[in-house]
């Protein structure tokens, strides 16, 4: 009788674990963990600048977790965590005059600026996603230097060769989020 009770409890545990795993990996839970807020704005500017909207969503999730008023320790602003100097450089190229920090925090403007910047980096780095993401995080000059000096091959397989731990982690996190967004949306 004790053996039968143990077998029943074992099978109950298996069923509970199976249901829990199914629940955790369901699209509903996945979409809660990887939301696609600001979808209309993201898709509008992604289409305008030729960027995969799911990559933009992944960058936003990693950068700010969709918090429009996010401000980093270093002063990066908004959903896409743009440094004011970078935003100031981008704005005139998009015909935006007199850019203020309040404007950078506006989701539409922030996504427009950040998506254009991703497209600009994609052109510079031959649409290599890992290089674009590294440049978005560490700066285009640093990444170009790493590539020229042979410090990093620019390939995801060699992401551990990126000299900055923050950038290494960033590229890995955005790629993981991008893969989840592709699976969910």
Q: What are phi and psi of 77, to 5 degrees?
A: -120, 145
Residue 15: per-residue pLDDT: 73
Question: Do 5 and 55 lie in a common domain?
Answer: no
DSSP code, position 139: -
Question: Do 150 and 59 lie in a common domain?
Answer: yes
Residue 18: per-residue pLDDT: 66
Q: Which residues of the chain have pLDDT under 70?
A: 1, 4-5, 7-8, 11, 18-25
Residue 29: per-residue pLDDT: 85
Residue 117: per-residue pLDDT: 98
Question: Do 23 and 89 lie in a common domain?
Answer: no
pTM: 0.87
Question: Do 40 and 77 lie in a common domain?
Answer: yes
Residue 167: per-residue pLDDT: 98
- Helix (H) or strand (E) holding 179, with range, is helix 165-184
Q: Do 130 and 171 contact (CB within 8 A), yes or no?
A: yes
> Known catalytic residues?
63
């Amino acid at each position: 009788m004790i053996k039968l009770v143990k077998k029943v409890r074992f099978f109950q545990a298996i069923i509970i674990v199976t249901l829990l795993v199914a629940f955790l990996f369901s699209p509903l839970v996945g979409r809660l963990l990887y939301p696609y807020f600001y979808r209309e704005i993201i898709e509008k500017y992604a289409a305008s600048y030729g960027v995969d909207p799911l990559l933009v969503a992944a960058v936003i999730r990693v950068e700010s977790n969709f918090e429009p008023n996010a401000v980093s320790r270093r002063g990066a602003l908004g959903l896409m965590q743009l440094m004011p100097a970078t935003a100031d450089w981008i704005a005139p190229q998009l015909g935006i005059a007199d850019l203020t920090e309040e404007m950078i925090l506006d989701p539409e403007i922030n996504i427009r600026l950040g998506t254009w910047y991703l497209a600009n980096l994609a052109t510079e780095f031959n649409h290599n996603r890992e290089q674009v993401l590294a440049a978005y995080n560490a700066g285009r000059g640093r990444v170009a230097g790493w590539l020229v000096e042979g410090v990093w091959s620019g390939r995801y397989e060699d992401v551990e060769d990126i000299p900055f731990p923050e950038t290494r982690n960033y590229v890995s996190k955005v790629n993981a989020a991008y893969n989840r967004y592709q699976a969910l949306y």
